[in-house]
């Protein structure tokens, strides 16, 4: 998606260890106009899949997920990384290891929000090693829900996430695909979702 790749070129910054900082417009400060366009684009791609829920993980997945859900006219659910005192219902839970933060967290969604009737679109800001996506897929599986696909804003294609998800026969659509972040330079895989 050209608006996104242009914005990454202008406002993205490469940190060491293959990490891309996009806090100017996605992960801290949010550009609502771009986020709306990206959510609509993901919704368009999955428009014929009869999606019933959009599911993401807090915090940076929430903005794109809510715009995608609005465009699909379905609810959005975000998995929580810490248990809230108000979550007194039965929970779906999975463990997610974060390579960027080097910690394992337990993510959860109240069972009442997902069922075997649901056909889910997963949305997240980044796809790196695929652990966050795998955790969300596990939550859907525990509920008996189907996962129709995963929509990602920025895929770091030099990491294993896409392969991991495709091996589960789940389609992956990424609005920007990054081939490498060597020497502080952002190289894209030139194709448009
Ligand atoms: P994965 O589980 O696919 O390895 O990583 C996904 C999560 O890690 C994303 O939800 C995102 O929060 C974070 N992440 C992974 N790589 C990057 C990166 O290069 N930049 C930023 N800002 N977050 C990242």
Interatomic CA distance for residues 152 and 146, integer angstroms: 18
Residue 155 domain-assigned (yes or no): yes
On whether residue 164 sits in a domain, the answer given is: yes
CA-proximal residue: ligand 1, atom 19 (nearest): 19
- Domain span holding position 67: 2-188
* Chain position carrying tokens 């389609």: 171
- Residues 113, 99: contact at Cβ < 8 Å? no
Cα of 110 vs centre of ligand 1, distance in Å, is: 24
Confidence tier at 75 by pLDDT (50, 70, 90):
very high
Pocket test for ligand 1, best of 22, 125, 126 (most atoms within 8 A of CB): 126
> Model confidence over 60-74: pLDDT tens digits?
999 999 999 999 999
Q: What is the pLDDT, as a whole number, of residue 61? A: 97
User: What is the band of 6 on the pLDDT scale with cuts at 50, 70, 90?
Assistant: very high
pLDDT (tens digit per residue) in 94-145: 999 987 788 899 999 999 999 999 999 999 999 999 999 999 999 999 999 9
CATH code: domain of residue 132 = 3.40.50.2020
Element of type H or E holding 125:
strand 119-127
Query: Residue 78: beta bridge partners?
Result: 56
* Distance in angstroms (rounded) separating the CA atoms of residues 124 and 134: 12
DSSP string for residues in 2-26: HHHHHHHHHH-EEETTTEEE-TTTT
129 is in an annotated binding site: yes
Query: Cis peptide before 59, with omega less than 30 degrees from 0?
Result: yes
Which atom belonging to ligand 1 lies closest to the Cα atom of 161? 3
Structural domain total, the chain: 1
Q: How many CB atoms lie within 10 A of CB 153?
A: 29
Percent of the chain with pLDDT over 70: 95
Q: How far does the chain reach from its first CA to its final CA, in angstroms? A: 6
Residue 193 falls inside a structural domain = no
pLDDT tier at 190, thresholds 50, 70, 90: confident
Q: To the nearest whole number, what is the mean pLDDT of the chain?
A: 95
Residue 161 clears pLDDT 70, i.e. is over it = yes
Which residue's alpha carbon is at the smallest distance from atom 20 of ligand 1? 20
| Per-residue pLDDT at 84 exceeds 70 | no
ipTM for the complex?
A: 0.97
In a domain, 52, yes or no: yes
* 67 falls within a domain: yes
Q: Is pLDDT above 80 for 12?
A: yes
Residue 94: the pLDDT is 96
């Amino acid at each position: 998606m050209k608006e996104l790749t242009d914005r990454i070129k202008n406002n993205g910054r490469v940190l060491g260890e293959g990490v891309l900082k996009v806090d100017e417009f996605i992960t801290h400060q949010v550009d609502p106009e771009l986020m709306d366009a990206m959510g609509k684009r993901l919704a368009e791609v999955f428009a014929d899949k009869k999606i019933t829920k959009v599911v993401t993980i807090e915090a940076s997945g929430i903005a794109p997920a809510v715009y995608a859900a609005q465009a699909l006219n379905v609810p959005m659910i975000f998995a929580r990384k810490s248990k809230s005192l108000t979550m007194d219902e039965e929970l779906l839970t999975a463990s997610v290891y974060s390579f960027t933060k080097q910690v394992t967290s337990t993510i959860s969604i109240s069972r009442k929000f997902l069922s075997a009737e649901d056909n889910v679109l997963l949305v997240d800001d980044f796809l790196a090693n695929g652990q966050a996506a795998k955790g969300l897929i596990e939550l859907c599986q525990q509920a008996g829900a189907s996962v129709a696909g995963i929509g990602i804003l920025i895929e770091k294609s030099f990491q294993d996430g896409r392969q991991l998800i495709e091996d589960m026969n789940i389609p992956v659509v990424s609005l920007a695909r990054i081939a490498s972040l060597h020497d502080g330079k952002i190289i894209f895989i030139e194709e448009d979702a």
